[in-house]
């Protein structure tokens, strides 16, 4: 077992000590899955389709392809970037495996509908994601008058898959039974101001720094949106796609293993109408933005050395999303904007030290069986991760950038843990 082949979400079972061997963790995790049910109303509703595609993609990566899809026969997609594609073709692309209805009956259900009628979903225990303009949530759908806004749709899907994971893990009695309403226009208060019309929301030129878990969630979300005229997305990363990338990152496929992440993201975005530029060097203290380049940045790197120098590169606004990495906190996220109340240099003055998970029984069993201790330590040090968390974080990060461009309130910090989405905290002010 090498560090790049262990599924990042299955690692929860090993790190927590719940599974005493890696084999036991893999066996238990392989039984996890989700049912995704699309009713007839989804056929003609773009918002519902973006929620559905995001949920299928994130769930397939999270649960080893164990997704049972119940949808109108021969459904043709209308979502931006997938226009005319069959749902079955999309499902194959994201790695959905053949699952029988009987096998899937024990799995939690995510039901997606464009119908706002009370009682439209017969199963009152089903998870019902929805998006309405800048608002999103789970539970009965709201009026639907807000229009299509991709970050809210992607966040709704991520929240729904997180609820399904909690049901599978039996780690939260409220999961799947609670109604949650959140706002990307006003994270701290649902009633604060009226968002602008959706037709005026376009993507400005921006850097995407880091194209792993978070960066690909950014790119996935932006792929459903339209760029401003002459806008360029600058894509920066140095890594290639590995096996572990497939379990956390929304664009990567097995066919692209060994390819550079920048090239895969550029191809994805250019096919959806964006102009891109590629930077294949590490972000460090020597980097400076050229006057002709975008001055906005979406940061998605996971190391302190790069983050502490981000304010010195010449960006006017940087939105940085950070995710938890341990089995207890991997569903937590913090979205910060710079300049802000605290400097990046102070926040990340010290390098991040991950907890030592090598003492967990599953890793000790590997060593007892003759595995190289250094290799086991490397495996144990890898972060727990799930693409559905990145989807929600991407919704908040992109919305923060756009809200400021549109004259809305600035939030310097947004804190959210998907185990308790109603406990979101936001700090207003640039």
* Residue 7 counted as domain residue: no
Check: pTM over 0.85? Answer yes or no.
Answer: yes
348 plus 302 within the same structural domain: yes
Euclidean distance between CA atoms 251 and 267, whole angstroms: 10
With tokens 């979101």, the residue in question is: 424
365 plus 265 within the same structural domain: yes
128, 148, 183 — which closes off a domain? 183
Which parts of the chain have pLDDT scores under 70? 1, 116-124, 142-144, 190-193, 353
Count: domains in the chain: 2
> What's the pLDDT at 119?
54
154 plus 223 within the same structural domain: no
38 plus 165 within the same structural domain: yes
233 plus 339 within the same structural domain: yes
Over residues 340-374, the pLDDT tens digits come to 999 999 999 988 767 778 899 999 999 999 999 99
CATH code of the domain in which 346 resides:
3.40.50.720
324 plus 406 within the same structural domain: yes
251 plus 163 within the same structural domain: no
Which of the residues are catalytic? 374
Q: What is the 3-state secondary structure (H, E, C) of 125-166?
A: CCECEEEECCEEEECCCCCCCCCCCHHHHHHHHHHHHHHHHH
Phi, psi of 111 (to 5 degrees): -110, 125
174 plus 214 within the same structural domain: no
143 plus 261 within the same structural domain: no
> What's the pLDDT at 179?
94
Cα–Cα nearest to 168, from 280, 276, 66: 66
172 plus 51 within the same structural domain: yes
170 plus 292 within the same structural domain: no
Domain range for 423 is 206-428
What is the overall mean pLDDT for the chain?
93
* Residue 2 counted as domain residue: no
How many Å is the Cα radius of gyration of the chain? Answer: 21
């Amino acid at each position: 077992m090498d560090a790049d082949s262990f599924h990042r979400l299955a690692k929860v079972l090993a790190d927590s000590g719940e599974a005493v061997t890696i084999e036991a963790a893999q066996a238990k995790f392989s039984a996890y899955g989700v049912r995704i049910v699309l009713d007839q109303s989804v056929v003609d509703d773009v918002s519902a389709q973006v929620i559905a595609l995001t949920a299928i993609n994130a769930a397939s990566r999270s649960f080893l392809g164990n997704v049972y899809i119940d949808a109108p026969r021969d459904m043709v997609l209308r979502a931006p970037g997938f226009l005319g594609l069959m749902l079955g073709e999309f499902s194959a692309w994201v790695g959905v495996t053949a699952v029988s209805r009987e096998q899937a009956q024990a799995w939690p259900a995510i039901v997606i509908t464009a119908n706002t009628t009370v009682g439209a979903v017969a199963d009152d225990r089903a998870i019902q994601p929805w998006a309405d303009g800048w608002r999103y949530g789970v539970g009965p759908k709201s009026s639907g008058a807000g229009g299509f806004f991709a970050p809210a749709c992607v966040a709704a899907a991520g929240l729904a898959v997180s609820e399904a994971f909690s049901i599978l893990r039996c780690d939260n009695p409220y999961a799947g039974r609670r109604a949650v309403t959140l706002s990307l226009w006003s994270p701290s208060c649902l009633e604060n101001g009226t968002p602008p019309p959706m037709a005026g929301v376009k993507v400005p030129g921006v850097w995407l720094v880091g194209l792993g878990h978070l960066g690909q969630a950014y790119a996935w979300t932006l792929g459903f949106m339209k760029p401003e005229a002459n806008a360029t997305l600058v894509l920066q990363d140095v890594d290639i796609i590995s096996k572990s990338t497939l379990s956390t990152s929304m664009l990567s496929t097995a066919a692209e293993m060994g390819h550079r992440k920048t090239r895969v993201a550029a191809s994805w975005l250019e096919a959806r109408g964006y102009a891109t530029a590629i930077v294949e060097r590490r972000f460090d203290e020597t980097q400076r933005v050229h006057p002709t380049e975008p001055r906005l940045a979406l940061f998605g790197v996971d190391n302190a050395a790069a983050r502490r120098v981000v304010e010195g590169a010449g960006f006017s606004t940087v939105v940085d999303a950070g995710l938890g990495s341990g089995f207890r906190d991997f569903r937590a996220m913090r979205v910060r904007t710079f300049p802000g109340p605290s400097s990046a240099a102070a926040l990340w003055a010290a390098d991040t030290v991950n907890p030592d998970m090598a003492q967990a029984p599953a890793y000790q069993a590997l060593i007892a069986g003759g595995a190289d201790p250094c290799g086991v330590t490397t495996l144990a040090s890898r972060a727990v991760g799930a693409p559905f968390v990145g989807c929600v974080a991407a919704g908040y990060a992109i919305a923060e950038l756009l809200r400021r461009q549109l004259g809305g309130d600035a939030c310097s910090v947004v804190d959210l843990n998907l185990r308790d989405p109603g406990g979101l905290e936001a700090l207003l002010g640039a």
